[in-house]
Structure 1
Amino acid sequence: MSSNITYSYNSIQNPPEINQHYRYQLQEKCKALFLRTQNNTSALYEELIMKVCNISKGDHRMAALVKDVGGWYNSYRYKLHVAILQLAEEFSKTHQWDGEEPPMIEIELFVSENVWRQALHFYLKATDFPTLNKDTEILAKLGTFIRKMVNDVLKDQKRDEDTQHLIKKYNEYTLELKIPTKLSIAKFLQVRDLLDC
């Protein structure tokens, strides 16, 4: 007596690709995480991917996802740099100063809460906005973060220096921020350890 039983190993050998829901969640958590750190490491990306997509570090999909997240982060840095350049240009049109240091008091007045929120709008949309709006410490530090970037861009522009490197140097203002999101992943990620700070 012969039995015609066939086994399918396809589901074991080739796990399904990450679905669009998880990819969307991953993008949103990356945006929120960007508010904490504009720097990056593969370890940081892997930890975020494991938590959001519920896969292991050794999963065959990990390398492609790390590449995607790296591309998103590069895009986020570029967008923020452009926004800061625009603010610096607007400030320069209406303010004059002597010496290399722009007046910080003028920058603080110019970069009001509405202005810095607009500069960070793309990333703020990925947060738990009602909770974030109640946290005055986070809001104050995000405002300081944008004002400091505008200040440094203005100084570098006055010296005719490139300003792209500036985006990665502001972790002192944002790294410890517990940015609220619906899943709290970006909030509790051990960013300092994963960046080897």
Structure 2
Amino acid sequence: MPEIARRLPTSSVSGACPERGSHVGTSFAEEIGWWGDNAPMTTRLKGRRREAARVVDAVSREANVSSEIQAVALVGSYARGAERMASDVDLVLLAADPDALAASPWFVRLLPGAELVRSRRWGPVRERRYRLCSGLFVELGIAPVSWADLPLDAGTRRVLSDGHRVLYDEGLLSEASKLVRSDTAAR
């Protein structure tokens, strides 16, 4: 899967809780094909995937215009194409000043109606967990750019090895991603 750098998604983000079926156009997530296989799924899961794509599109678009965000990766079950109804959308954002980005209300402005339900710190990563009005949970792991420095620390390697898709990158994640993919291919 090619990495995406400074590319604007084609879909639009509108309203806090769009009506079912209001998704219009091809989403950025669909364009890069992170859905996995075409296995049969319920209507609810299709709706959940559309909502997840809307979040990925919005965050990717924000990264493209924000000077605060240097890289974004989708990680976890959605990155592997193994999501279920209970899956949350996990995003890692790299920033020069992660504390400022974590304290900023940018995500709620981006997705009105998002409610911060948990805020934790895991070493260098500032976790912000949001619940959208649709019920979808989004977990942002906001980390300093050094999170992707080589050699990778065990935590970074574990997160990336569990599945990742680089959505936006100013060059910080590309080497880490290549290393993890080559390690996985060698196994």
Length-normalised TM-score, structure 2: 0.30
Greater fraction helix: 1
More strand by share: 2
TM-score when scaled to structure 1?
A: 0.29
